[in-house]
């Protein structure tokens, strides 16, 4: 395994990818991009801008139709219908490059914002999604990324307060189609701990396909 990793870092040539919207690599000061993706549990739109040479700052909107967290209720006939939340998230996304050595990039990601749940456990609150992203450009036109994400959320509803603490491993890839067009694929999965009466530990899953456009 060590020899394989050594081969990846030493013998795969670096590539000028142009721009990236999910890998954690900074856009560059003054450069902008948009990213639209869809899948489970939501569709989302991101407007991102190069805040500094090593950081991005953007605005993100998510429209959700899948469960944020698995909330069991005694009166539910089945868990699928009971947990089919409809929710809206509006917030910021901040990317900070922590280290760039050779072909490997390490970045911090934060997505703080407001959350409104419109079905089932109706309420409002906030979400904070801290995470780390490792990315590695392969031979053009592919860049891969992997890391950890914790989309922590808390909201207040008629029965009290719900706190969701997912801890997920993430993996994704970005394909360069043209100078200003990328296709993205993302997968996140891991256990989710719910803190509320009747809740339990379940799986948090996210799978999305999207498109990034450089402006």
Contacts of 17 (CB under 8 A, 6+ apart): 25, 137, 140, 141, 143, 174, 176
Closest by alpha carbon to 144, among 169, 173, 171, 170?
Answer: 173
- DSSP class of residue 23 equals S
Output the pTM of the full model.
0.82
Number of folded domains in the chain?
Answer: 1
- In which band, very low, low, confident or very high, does the pLDDT at 197 lie, cut at 50, 70 and 90? low
- Domain with 108 in it: 2-214
Quote the distance between the C-alpha of residue 83 and its chain's center: 21
On the question of pLDDT at 146 being above 60, the answer is: yes
Residue bearing tokens 């890391």: 147
Rounded CA-CA distance 49/27 in Å is 7
On the question of pLDDT at 73 being above 50, the answer is: no
- In which band, very low, low, confident or very high, does the pLDDT at 120 lie, cut at 50, 70 and 90? low
The pLDDT tens digits of the residues spanning 24-68 come to 889 999 899 999 999 998 999 999 999 999 999 999 999 988 776
CATH assignment of the domain containing 70? 2.40.128
């Amino acid at each position: 395994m060590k020899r394989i990793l050594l081969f990846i870092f030493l013998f795969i040539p670096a590539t000028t990818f142009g721009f990236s919207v999910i890998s954690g690599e900074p856009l560059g000061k003054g450069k902008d991009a948009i990213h639209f993706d869809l899948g489970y549990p939501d569709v989302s739109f991101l407007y991102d801008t190069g805040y500094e040479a090593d950081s991005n700052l953007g605005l993100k909107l998510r429209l959700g139709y899948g469960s944020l967290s698995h909330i069991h209720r005694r009166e539910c006939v089945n868990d699928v219908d009971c947990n089919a939340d409809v929710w809206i998230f509006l917030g910021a996304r901040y990317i900070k490059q922590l280290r760039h050595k050779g072909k490997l990039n390490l970045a911090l990601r934060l997505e703080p914002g407001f959350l409104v749940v419109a079905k089932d456990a109706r309420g409002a609150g906030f979400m904070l999604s801290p995470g780390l992203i490792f990315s590695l450009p392969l031979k053009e036109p592919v860049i891969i990324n992997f890391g950890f994400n914790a989309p922590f959320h808390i909201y207040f509803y008629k029965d009290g307060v719900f706190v969701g603490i997912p801890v997920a491993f993430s993996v994704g890839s970005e394909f360069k189609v043209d100078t200003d067009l990328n296709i993205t694929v993302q997968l996140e999965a891991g256990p989710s701990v719910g803190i509320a009466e009747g809740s339990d530990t379940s799986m948090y899953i996210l799978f999305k396909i999207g498109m990034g456009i450089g402006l």
